[in-house]
């Protein structure tokens, strides 16, 4: 194949990619919406009820019993589907806030996000944290306000709540006509027509009824005062709300807003169409060395997630790689930039509707899964030979600590192996204190400790004892002054521990203690976030 044709192919494949995640507070309807999006895109023929989906997920890919016990989605997964000539990659995120660090990293691998809000509860705490991450990265957000088949908040109130929390303008694309028992449908403001509500679980939209025109007397007659109220609101927002502006959406300054009922498969297709039409194709990615364009000829990609033992039958680790540029082909030889080693990618998986299929090619925006036995770490960059370090994959300073020891001293080696692997996966942060032998575990959420203890037991046959630690805060530190750095480390050795990439961190029990250290050591910079490459990033403390 001649060079220009290959380049054109890459360009056109990149243009039709849409990679996004759904974010929400638990129970807002993320699983339901995911299932309905898959249904519309034809990725699954019959989408069962949420319960059935959750149950089958347990059967097929639930690798951790704790997930079953708690009914929360600990594992992130990836689904690929095609809709209107677009290839859509949907990256699932854990809903539970204790795994927010994992979610943040998934968000570094998407180009857009759909935010699901429970219409009764409005914006909830977990949504706010996730939004902050999206906002920091200027990720475009599409908002779906769910559960209009129930008594929910007034749509105008929800609109202003979304605007004030997001700090961006909301542009309603649809508007609800009634709610709960009187939910009559949604009015499409772009197409000036109403989609009449029909309860229904698994239909793919065959028997959809539309009524054209806001001034249509038949609508007014059929839905009476419910429609009259909605119409008043629509006229109000048509005057007050800004017009949709794609550039503002892409810059994260405007969010298109949709209303509906995911469980009834209602208002979902509009979201999918907007995603295909307006959400961005993969954009260039910044590396320390240069800007990498998605349609370059050479393959590059980043490991944004490592998951162990996804399939108990395989007992493997899968590195999730987001393709940043070029074309991935099965069997390609890839360089792991961190180690300089070569990886032969013959056994690679794609994610299609939860099934692991052998993948033949992938382009920027796609996610490929590479089974391996520990050679790939979180944040690793894969290339065809070039040395590149992508920026932006964050580790956050833990807020909770435990000392970890093993009940049976003969199993300390297994404990270390297990913790090293879980640390590389990002399931927990492991610190090796400068003084003393007990390893320290650091987490952002309490549940992370439980998961780690459970996994040490089931996957490594280690009974770990987790004891409270005197530390509550950690800050990575750097200095331009090597002498000051050495002095600081010597005089604080009892507070220093090294993380998985041997970056030193300063551990304290209170903010006051940190402030004292800062005052005494002006040449030292303390950081609450570290990037994967081992480089420490300057942040507020
Ligand atoms: P999540 O992934 O964000 O945690 O939410 P999920 O989709 O699991 O939905 C949480 C609950 O909300 C589910 O009920 C689901 O059926 C319900 N739900 C989702 N969308 C809608 C909607 O449009 N309208 C209404 N009324 N409910 C909706 P559940 O209590 O977990 O199960 P079940 O009692 O429905 O079986």
Q: What is the 3-state secondary structure (H, E, C) of 296-321?
A: CCCCEEEEEEEEECCCCCCCCEEEEE
Q: What is the mean pLDDT of residues 27-56?
A: 64
Q: What angle, 0 to 180 degrees and rounded to 10, lies between the N-to-C axes of helices 446-460 and 412-425?
A: 130
Least confident of 330-344, 346-360, 405-419, 446-460: 346-360
Q: CA-to-CA distance for 515 and 517, rounded, in angstroms?
A: 5
306-327 pLDDT tens trace: 876 555 555 567 888 999 999 9
Q: Is the CB of 50 under 6 A from ligand 1?
A: yes
pLDDT given for residue 387 in this prediction: 94
| Residue that wins the pLDDT comparison between 176 and 529 | 176
Q: Is the CB of 48 under 6 A from ligand 1?
A: no
376-401 pLDDT tens trace: 888 899 999 999 988 767 777 888 99
Q: Is the CB of 261 under 6 A from ligand 1?
A: yes
pLDDT given for residue 9 in this prediction: 92
Ligand 1 atom with the shortest distance to the CA of 51: 36
Least confident of 131-135, 271-275, 355-359: 355-359
Q: Is the CB of 27 under 6 A from ligand 1?
A: yes
Taking the centre of ligand 1 as the mean of its atom positions, its distance from the CA of residue 464, in whole angstroms, is: 36
pLDDT given for residue 45 in this prediction: 41
Q: Find the distance separating the first CA and the last CA of the chain, reported in whole Å.
A: 53
| Residue that wins the pLDDT comparison between 350 and 490 | 490
Secondary structure E strands in 312-433: 317-325, 327-329, 333-336, 342-344, 349-352, 355-358, 361-363, 367-372, 381-383, 394-396, 400-406, 429-433
Least confident of 53-67, 101-115, 354-368: 53-67
Q: CA-to-CA distance for 195 and 185, rounded, in angstroms?
A: 6
Counting ligand 1 atoms within 8 A of each CB, the residue from 28, 33, 50 with the most, and so the one to mutate, is 50
73-109 pLDDT tens trace: 334 367 888 888 899 998 877 656 666 677 778 888 9
Say if residue 57's pLDDT is above 80. no
Contact 455, 422 (CB under 8 A): yes
| Residue that wins the pLDDT comparison between 102 and 182 | 182
Q: What is the mean pLDDT of residues 226-247?
A: 94
Question: Considering only CA atoms, which of 12, 14, 9, 21 is closest in space to residue 325?
Answer: 14
Say if residue 176's pLDDT is above 80. yes
Contact 147, 118 (CB under 8 A): yes
457-482 pLDDT tens trace: 888 899 999 999 999 999 999 999 99
Q: Is the CB of 32 under 6 A from ligand 1?
A: yes
Say if residue 297's pLDDT is above 70. yes
pLDDT band at residue 70, thresholds of 50, 70 and 90? very low
Say if residue 113's pLDDT is above 90. yes
pTM of the predicted structure, to 2 decimals:
0.81
Say if residue 34's pLDDT is above 80. yes
pLDDT given for residue 308 in this prediction: 67
Taking the centre of ligand 1 as the mean of its atom positions, its distance from the CA of residue 27, in whole angstroms, is: 6
Taking the centre of ligand 1 as the mean of its atom positions, its distance from the CA of residue 73, in whole angstroms, is: 14
Say if residue 201's pLDDT is above 60. no
Ligand 1 atom with the shortest distance to the CA of 25: 3
Which tokens sit at 509?
A: 């029990």
pLDDT given for residue 298 in this prediction: 96
Q: CA-to-CA distance for 278 and 269, rounded, in angstroms?
A: 14
pLDDT given for residue 79 in this prediction: 80
Least confident of 37-46, 172-181, 431-440: 37-46
Least confident of 67-81, 163-177, 424-438: 67-81
Q: Is the CB of 146 under 6 A from ligand 1?
A: yes
Taking the centre of ligand 1 as the mean of its atom positions, its distance from the CA of residue 30, in whole angstroms, is: 8
| Residue that wins the pLDDT comparison between 373 and 246 | 246
Burial of 313 (0-12, 13-18, 19+ CB in 10 A): exposed
Least confident of 201-215, 240-254, 401-415: 201-215
pLDDT given for residue 538 in this prediction: 39
Q: Is the CB of 521 under 6 A from ligand 1?
A: no
SS3 assignment, position 23:
strand
For residue 103, report the phi and psi dihedrals to the nearest 5 degrees.
-65, -40
Give the DSSP letter of residue 267. S
Q: Is the CB of 26 under 6 A from ligand 1?
A: yes
Say if residue 494's pLDDT is above 50. yes
HSE, side-chain direction, 13 A CA sphere, residue 341? 10
Q: What is the mean pLDDT of residues 356-367?
A: 77
Say if residue 60's pLDDT is above 80. no
CB atoms within 10 A of CB 532: 26
Q: What is the mean pLDDT of the chain?
A: 84
Least confident of 148-157, 167-176, 177-186, 303-312: 303-312
SS3 assignment, position 144:
strand
Taking the centre of ligand 1 as the mean of its atom positions, its distance from the CA of residue 80, in whole angstroms, is: 23
Q: Is the CB of 326 under 6 A from ligand 1?
A: no
Taking the centre of ligand 1 as the mean of its atom positions, its distance from the CA of residue 32, in whole angstroms, is: 7
Least confident of 1-10, 18-27, 274-283, 487-496: 1-10
Say if residue 65's pLDDT is above 70. no
Q: What is the mean pLDDT of residues 434-462?
A: 87
Question: Considering only CA atoms, which of 284, 281, 301, 323 is closest in space to residue 112?
Answer: 281
Kind and range of the H or E run holding 129? helix 125-136
Q: Cβ neighbours of residue 368 under 8 Å, at least 6 residues apart? A: 301, 320, 321, 323, 328, 348, 349, 350, 359, 362
pLDDT given for residue 465 in this prediction: 93
Q: CA-to-CA distance for 533 and 378, rounded, in angstroms?
A: 9
pLDDT given for residue 292 in this prediction: 96
Q: CA-to-CA distance for 118 and 69, rounded, in angstroms?
A: 24
pLDDT given for residue 337 in this prediction: 94
DSSP H stretches of helix in 29-99? 30-40, 50-61, 65-70
pLDDT given for residue 354 in this prediction: 43
Contact 246, 274 (CB under 8 A): no
Taking the centre of ligand 1 as the mean of its atom positions, its distance from the CA of residue 120, in whole angstroms, is: 12
Question: Considering only CA atoms, which of 451, 498, 503 is closest in space to residue 307?
Answer: 451
Q: Is the CB of 147 under 6 A from ligand 1?
A: yes
Q: Cβ neighbours of residue 433 under 8 Å, at least 6 residues apart? A: 439, 440, 496, 497, 507
pLDDT given for residue 111 in this prediction: 95
Contact 194, 210 (CB under 8 A): yes
Q: CA-to-CA distance for 155 and 449, rounded, in angstroms?
A: 40
């Amino acid at each position: 194949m001649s060079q220009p044709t290959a380049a054109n192919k890459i360009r056109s494949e990149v243009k039709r990619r849409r990679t996004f995640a759904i974010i929400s507070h638990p129970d807002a309807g993320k699983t339901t919406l995911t299932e309905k999006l898959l249904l519309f895109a034809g990725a699954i023929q019959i989408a069962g009820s949420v319960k059935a989906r959750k149950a089958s997920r347990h059967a097929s890919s639930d690798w951790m019993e704790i997930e079953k016990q708690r009914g929360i989605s600990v594992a992130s997964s990836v689904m690929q589907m095609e809709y209107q000539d677009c290839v859509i990659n949907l990256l699932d995120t854990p809903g539970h806030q204790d795994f927010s660090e994992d979610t943040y990293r998934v968000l570094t691998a998407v180009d857009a996000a759909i935010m699901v809000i429970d219409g009764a509860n409005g914006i909830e705490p977990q949504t706010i944290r996730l939004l902050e991450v999206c906002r920091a990265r200027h990720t475009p957000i599409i908002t779906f306000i769910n559960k209009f088949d129930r008594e929910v908040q007034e749509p105008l109130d929800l609109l202003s709540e979304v605007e004030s929390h997001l700090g961006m303008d909301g542009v309603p694309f649809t508007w609800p006509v009634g709610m709960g028992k009187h939910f009559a449908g949604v009015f499409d403001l772009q197409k000036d027509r109403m989609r009449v509500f029909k309860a229904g679980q698994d239909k793919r939209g065959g028997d959809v009824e539309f009524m054209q025109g806001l001034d249509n007397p038949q609508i007014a007659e059929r839905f009476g005062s419910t429609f009259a109220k909605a119409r008043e609101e629509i006229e109000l927002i048509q005057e007050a709300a800004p017009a949709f502006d794609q550039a503002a959406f892409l810059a994260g300054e405007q969010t298109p807003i949709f209303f509906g009922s995911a469980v009834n498969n209602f208002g979902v297709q509009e979201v999918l169409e907007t995603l295909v039409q307006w959400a961005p194709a993969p954009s260039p990615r910044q590396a320390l060395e240069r800007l990498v364009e998605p349609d370059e000829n050479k393959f590059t990609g980043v490991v944004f997630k490592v998951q162990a033992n996804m399939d108990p039958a395989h007992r493997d680790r899968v590195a999730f790689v987001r393709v940043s540029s070029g074309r991935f082909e099965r069997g390609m030889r890839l360089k792991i930039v961190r180690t300089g080693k070569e990886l032969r990618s013959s056994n690679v998986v794609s994610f299609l509707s939860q099934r692991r299929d052998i993948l033949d090619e992938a382009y920027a925006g796609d996610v490929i899964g590479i089974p391996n036995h520990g050679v790939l770490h979180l944040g690793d960059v894969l290339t065809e030979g070039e040395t590149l370090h992508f920026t932006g994959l964050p580790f956050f300073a833990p807020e909770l600590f435990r000392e970890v020891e093993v009940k049976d001293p003969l199993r300390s080696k297994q404990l270390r192996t297990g913790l090293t692997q879980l640390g590389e996966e990002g399931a927990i942060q492991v610190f090796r204190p400068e003084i003393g032998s007990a390893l320290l575990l650091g987490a952002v959420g309490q549940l992370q400790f439980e998961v780690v203890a459970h996994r040490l037991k089931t996957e490594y046959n280690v009974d770990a004892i987790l004891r409270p630690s005197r530390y509550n805060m950690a800050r990575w530190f750097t200095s331009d002054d090597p002498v000051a750095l050495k002095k600081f480390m010597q005089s604080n050795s009892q507070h220093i521990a090294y993380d998985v990439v041997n970056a030193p961190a300063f551990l304290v029990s209170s903010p006051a203690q940190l402030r004292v250290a800062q005052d005494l050591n002006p040449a030292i910079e303390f950081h609450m976030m570290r990037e994967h490459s081992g480089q420490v990033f300057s942040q507020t403390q």
